[in-house]
Amino acid sequence: MGEVHVGTCAWTEKTMVDLWYPKGVTSPEQRLRYYAAQFDTVEVDSPFYALPPRSYAQRWAERTPSDFIFHVKAYGMMTGHEVDARALAPELREYPHEISPRGRVLQAHPDMVDAAFDLFTDAIAPLRDAGKLGGVLMQFPPYFTANTPEHERRNLDYIEYAKDKLGGFRMLVEFRHPSWLRGAKAHHTLKWLTDRDLAYVSVDSPQLPDGSTMPPTAALTTDWAYVRLHGRNASMWRARTDSSADRFDYRYSAEELGEWEPKIRDLARDADQTFVMFNNNKYDYAQRNAAEIATILGDLVPPRVPDAGEAEPTLF
């Protein structure tokens, strides 16, 4: 059995900070240090919205124990999403692009996308240099499909391009359209990822009546397994909201977490490392569910042992 590492996909979500952090833990440094005393891994999702300066990753590395692992969600432009024109890095503004009435960048020039990859990998390099970088999450949008041979070929070609641009960074592939796993397509998709040493991201999300969301399939395509649990708030999944956290307003019950226990144990049986990440980032649901599943999984989850000189973990 490989170890199972449990964490969340944020540590500063604004609806969470007042509920989960103790009184007096208010600065970015204090919050990250407190989080790292509870969990040994986190997924950083903020780079999806804007490319961070390199100094951010340097500080994240300095403020966490030596065994702590960061996974980083790729910038939206890198996965075919529209991005906020106001948040464009200065280095990207020189490339040809259109802006929608909503202020989103449309049809980014291929050279612009290429440059975004270079800026992103440079920004997170301090995590790699510190030995604290896990994987780069490439979460593709629902319109990134395998519905037709042409769509599938074009999108697989893009994944290969992204793998090449990420170089030696470990790539985690999350699909958001079920066409990748329908019928016989599932075997083909998972084998294709396995052959290229790309990690399939197993997801839990609402199962809508129209079958438009990914099934809760647990699969291993590399030596690392990666699971993301988004919650099951079906009524908000497609809604336009002021905050993305509203989509993830869901706390798993013990019974629902129990559905994943055998799947995670099966993954851990064959994987060197298994990461279970909660993305239900509304209030303190993610942190609570992460602690609960760590208890369910028992000795598969290593206890937090602080570095020499670190404060003892605060239990919650």
pLDDT tens per residue across span 51-90: 999 999 999 999 999 999 999 999 999 999 999 999 999 9
Give residue 31's identity as a one-letter amino acid code: R
In this prediction, residues 43-48 reach a mean pLDDT of 97
pLDDT band, very low/low/confident/very high, at 303 (cuts 50, 70, 90):
confident
Instruction: Using a pLDDT cut of 90, give the percent of the chain over it.
Output: 85
Q: What pLDDT, on a 0 to 100 scale, did the predictor assign at position 298?
A: 92
What are 247-272's pLDDT values in tens digits?
Answer: 788 999 999 999 999 999 999 999 99
Q: 10 Å Cβ neighbour count for 210?
A: 6
pLDDT band, very low/low/confident/very high, at 243 (cuts 50, 70, 90):
low
Give the C-alpha distances (Å, rounded to integers) separating 99 from 79, 149, 240, 272, 291.
18, 30, 20, 44, 42
What are 145-183's pLDDT values in tens digits?
Answer: 999 999 999 999 999 999 999 999 999 999 999 999 999
Give the C-alpha distances (Å, rounded to integers) separating 93 from 51, 89, 115.
13, 7, 11
Give residue 41's identity as a one-letter amino acid code: T
- Longest CA–CA span in the chain (Å) reads 57
Q: What pLDDT, on a 0 to 100 scale, did the predictor assign at position 314?
A: 42
Helix or strand run (H / E) with residue 201: strand 199-204
- Among the residue ranges 136-140, 196-200, 205-209, 232-236, the one predicted with the least confidence is 232-236
Query: Does residue 307 have a pLDDT over 90?
Result: no
Most confident of the ranges 12-26, 58-72, 92-106: 58-72
In this prediction, residues 46-52 reach a mean pLDDT of 96
In this prediction, residues 192-199 reach a mean pLDDT of 98
Q: What pLDDT, on a 0 to 100 scale, did the predictor assign at position 107?
A: 84
pLDDT band, very low/low/confident/very high, at 32 (cuts 50, 70, 90):
very high
- H-type helices in 63-200, by residue range? 110-129, 149-166, 185-195
Give residue 148's identity as a one-letter amino acid code: T
What are 175-190's pLDDT values in tens digits?
Answer: 999 999 999 999 999 9
Q: What pLDDT, on a 0 to 100 scale, did the predictor assign at position 143?
A: 95
Query: Does residue 305 have a pLDDT over 90?
Result: no
Cβ partners under 8 Å of residue 239, min gap 6: 246, 247
Q: What pLDDT, on a 0 to 100 scale, did the predictor assign at position 309?
A: 43
Q: What pLDDT, on a 0 to 100 scale, did the predictor assign at position 235?
A: 79
Compute the mean pLDDT over every residue in the chain, rounded to the nearest whole number.
93
Give the C-alpha distances (Å, rounded to integers) separating 308 from 37, 264, 305, 312.
13, 31, 9, 10
Distance between first and last Cα of the chain:
27
Instruction: Using a pLDDT cut of 70, give the percent of the chain over it.
Output: 95
The model scores a pTM over 0.95 = no
Q: What pLDDT, on a 0 to 100 scale, did the predictor assign at position 237?
A: 79
pLDDT band, very low/low/confident/very high, at 38 (cuts 50, 70, 90):
very high
Query: Does residue 194 have a pLDDT over 70?
Result: yes
Query: Does residue 310 have a pLDDT over 60?
Result: no
Strand, helix or coil for residue 175: coil
pLDDT band, very low/low/confident/very high, at 94 (cuts 50, 70, 90):
very high
In order of start, what are the domains of the chain with their CATH numbers? 3-300 (3.20.20.410)
